[in-house]
Amino acid sequence: MKIESVYFDEEHHLFRETLRAFVEKELKPHADEWEQAGMFPNELFRAFGKLGYLGLRFPVEYGGQGLDYWYTVVLCEELVRCQSLGVGVGLLVQSEMATSVINKYGTPEQKREFLAPAIAGEKIAALGITEPGHGSNVANLRTTARRDGDDWVINGSKTFISNGTRANFITLAARTGGEGARGVSLILVPTDAKGFSVGRALKKMGTHSSDIAELFFQDVRVPVSNLVGEPGRGFAYVMELFQGERLVLASFANGIMQALWEEALNYGRAREVFGLPIVGHQAWRHRLADLLTQMEAARQLTYFACDRLNRTASAQKEVSMAKLYACELVKRVAETVLQLHGGYGYMEEYPVCRFYRDVAAFGIGAGTSEIMREIIAKEAIG
Amino acid sequence: MPYNIVALLKRVPDTESKITLRDNAVVTEGLNFVLDPYGEYGLEKALQLVEQHGGKVTAVLCGPADAKETIRKALAVGADDAVHLSDPAFEGGDAAATARVLAAALKQIPFDLIWSGKQAVDQDNAQVPERVAELLDLPHVNSVIEFTLAADGKTARCVREVDGERDVMTTTLPAIFTAQQGLGELRYPSLKGIMGAKKKPITDWNAAALGLDVAAVGAAGAKFQVIQLEPPPARPPGKIIPGDAQTAAQELARLLHEESKII
Ligand SMILES: Cc1cc2nc3c(=O)[nH]c(=O)nc-3n(C[C@H](O)[C@H](O)[C@H](O)COP(=O)(O)OP(=O)(O)OC[C@H]3O[C@@H](n4cnc5c(N)ncnc54)[C@H](O)[C@@H]3O)c2cc1C
């Protein structure tokens, strides 16, 4: 289980080993229950906060661990082994997607009020960008925040918001200025503010243990001091900080591929067809050899992107490549491993069945595969 | 009242590792090593006692030079410092030879009590702590599943599980206790613990530092000789008895009686 890499030293190995045991003993036994409930329990945020896993990259001053992205990569690769991807999604929205902007651009007051309690798992965070009318086209979003005295007055709606039914605050993208990317700002919105409401929890194909919701804002007032960084810089912040989010998705994909590989070997060695274990047939041996080769390429590309992100904080192209490649590949791996299981793979009893559903969103969330190609092409071709 | 507690630990291959044998020995290259789980239960108790009463926990491990990584796991979960007993001359020892090394080291370490696993999962000897007790002339209680210290800090009350019964023993301190499953699982190391492990002190002692005669330790001092080491035979495949419940039950009874001779 030790994943050897020039990037990992003893601390990373021990962190992985600890997570592996923790996930196996404390999370996996509950996976079915949480999938059926449509949500993992809120206590998990607190438990993870206590272990220090919600603030891996954040400063010690606010309760974080002050570490680099490698620890996030290891966390993501191991978390998905609980066989309930929603757990990873909910927790990483909290620890990376909704909070990294506060860490980077927030004021000390914002960090005390929002970041520190999120790191401790006492407040649940969500990231509100996608709207019913605008998903990929973030620069065109329609939710508005109008200045009125010392308040922002927010109107509009968001959809597909993970942690949306239970968040204590939303890191919200809203239009504070004119049309286009330069009119967008990020504002921290407590969900107990008047005029905020949560629509239905949306029913989805997979990631059943995480909640996802529509959010409505009707004349919601928050103090002007809740704007993060500078007004009109929201789009730029989102693009910058999505690097972390995309690294998370790529690492989830790598972790799931590893788990799927193990499922394939376990099943393919035990099940005999025409007098040979499945993995004894050359047709499967070659297919699996191809998959393993591509899996390794995905992992190394992700590690390459992580290394660059750690060192330069600017790795748009590399992180987009890792996100694109790993998140597309994981769908093919899931499909192949399901096929290897025959009819059993289609049954809920086998982990591959749930993995197959869960990975369907990998080419969509955190920027679609098409958007990844746009980013890569823009940087590489101009 | 604070206590100095020693936790004796052993490095063993991860039970999930694939074990291969060469020249009557386990091939260690490429193996993933862990702390022996019984030793871990003892370490957990040691950490709890220090949390309650104050004092410090010293992890002591006898093993090859590359066992440092395993020692640091004990430091990551909360041991204050460690002693690494390492010398090429210590290798290949049997329980008696290893106990001699540990006993010599324990003469240099102040302690009020010692925890150890009741056995280690690699060789399942269940001898080393008892031999150490003998060499140091200390009382010992093995297979402990519950443990409390008396208010005066001079005696300990232990519960052992023996053949489904509970055996209660008290002893004066200092003493050696060995941990059985049920005493309590070792905690997970916190991130702070993981990151801080390398900063905690590990003292290295070899045979010379302990004043040990190399003829009395390791392979040279072992009375126990491995003649042959073989992997356990592959398990024969299971059998499915077809037919309706009644015929299948009859056939099962016949097989249990005639073939496996269990009934
Ligand atoms: C499980 C899950 C969790 C999510 N969690 C969150 C969350 O917490 N917060 C949040 O804000 N959002 C969240 N989302 C939303 C997600 O970010 C969006 O679904 C995604 O950005 C795509 O937007 P869209 O669905 O509106 O698709 P659209 O933008 O309408 O895209 C439709 C299709 O057109 C393609 N397309 C778009 N633009 C181009 C182009 N220029 N060239 C070629 N093709 C293009 C897309 O790739 C896609 O295939 C979540 C989504 C899922 C599935």
What value of ipTM does the predicted structure carry?
Answer: 0.88
- All structural domains of chain B: 3-221 (3.40.50.620), 233-263 (no CATH)
Q: What is the largest CA-CA distance in chain B?
A: 72
Residues of B in contact with A52 (CB under 8 A): 190-192
What is the DSSP code (8-state) at residue B65?
G
Determine if the peptide bond prior to B174 is cis (ω within 30°): yes
User: Under 8 Å CB-to-CB from B174, ≥6 apart: which residues?
Assistant: B111, B112, B113, B114, B138
| Whole-number CA gyration radius for chain B | 22
The two three-digit tokens of residue B247, written as one number: 């015929």
Average model confidence (pLDDT) across chain A: 97
Q: Is A245 a catalytic residue?
A: yes
- Return the C-alpha torsion angle B202, B208, B211, B212, nearest 10: 100
Ligand 1 pocket test: which of A99, A101, A124, A160 has the largest number of ligand atoms within 8 Å of its C-beta? A160
Q: Decide if A65 touches B, using CB distance below 8 A.
A: yes
pLDDT value, residue A271: 96
Per-residue pLDDT, averaged over A135-141, amounts to: 95
State which H helix or E strand residue B247 sits in.
helix B245-258
From the list A18, A56, A65, the residue facing B188 with the nearest CB is A18
What distance in Å separates the CA atoms of residue A68 and residue B191, rounded to the nearest whole number?
Answer: 13
Going by their DSSP bridges, the two strands B3-9 and B55-62 should be labelled as: parallel
The two three-digit tokens of residue A28, written as one number: 């996996």
CB contact under 8 A, B188 and A2: no
- All structural domains of chain A: 10-120 (1.10.540.10), 125-232 (2.40.110.10), 235-380 (1.20.140.10)
Q: Decide if A51 touches B, using CB distance below 8 A.
A: yes
How many angstroms is it from A127 CA to the middle of ligand 1? 14
CB contact under 8 A, B192 and A15: no
pLDDT value, residue A1: 66
The two three-digit tokens of residue B128, written as one number: 């080393």
How many angstroms is it from A37 CA to the middle of ligand 1? 26
CB contact under 8 A, A14 and B197: yes
Give which of A2, A8, A10 to mutate to test B binding, by max B Cβ within 10 Å. Answer: A10
- Interchain CB contacts (distance < 8 Å): A and B: 38
Per-residue pLDDT, averaged over A5-21, amounts to: 94
Of B7, B55, B41, B81, which Cα lies nearest the Cα of B153?
Answer: B55
The two three-digit tokens of residue B14, written as one number: 């991860």
What distance in Å separates the CA atoms of residue A175 and residue A185, rounded to the nearest whole number?
Answer: 6
- The protein residue with its alpha carbon nearest to ligand 1, atom 42, reads A370
How does pLDDT run along chain B (263 residues), one tens digit per residue? 899 999 999 999 988 888 889 988 888 888 889 999 999 999 999 999 999 999 999 999 999 999 999 999 999 999 999 999 999 999 999 999 999 999 999 999 999 999 999 999 998 899 999 999 999 999 999 999 999 999 988 999 999 988 888 999 999 999 999 999 999 999 999 999 999 999 999 999 999 999 999 999 999 999 888 889 888 888 887 888 888 999 999 999 999 999 888 88
CB contact under 8 A, B192 and A1: no
Query: Searching chain A, which residue's CA lies closest to the CA of residue B34?
Result: A17
Phi, psi of A23 (to 5 degrees): -65, -45
Q: Decide if B194 touches A, using CB distance below 8 A.
A: yes
* Long-range contacts of A203-208, Cβ-Cβ distance < 8 Å, separation of 24 or more: A204/A361, A205/A357, A205/A360, A205/A361, A206/A85, A206/A354, A206/A357, A206/A358, A206/A359, A206/A360, A206/A361, A207/A85, A207/A86, A207/A89, A207/A358, A207/A361, A208/A34, A208/A35, A208/A36, A208/A38, A208/A84, A208/A86
State which H helix or E strand residue B99 sits in.
helix B95-106
Assess contact for B156 and B173: CB atoms under 8 A.
Answer: yes
The two three-digit tokens of residue A344, written as one number: 């059993």
Give which of B66, B194, B200 to mutate to test A binding, by max A Cβ within 10 Å. Answer: B194
Residues of A in contact with B35 (CB under 8 A): none
Write out pLDDT tens, residues A178-212: 999 999 999 999 999 999 999 988 999 999 999 99
How close does chain A come to B30, measured CA to CA in Å?
Answer: 10
Pocket of ligand 1 (CB under 6 A): A 93, 127-130, 135-136, 160-162, 207, 212, 361, 364-365, 368, 370-371, 374
CB contact under 8 A, A21 and B188: yes
Rama region for B211: left / alpha / beta (φ>0; ψ in -120 to 50; rest): left
Of A222, A231, A233, A159, which Cα lies nearest the Cα of A191?
Answer: A222
Burial B64-73 (b: 16+ CB within 10 A, else e): eeebbebbbb
The two three-digit tokens of residue B96, written as one number: 């008696």
Q: Which of A35, A77, A131, A245 is catalytic?
A: A245
Query: Searching chain B, which residue's CA lies closest to the CA of residue A75?
Result: B191
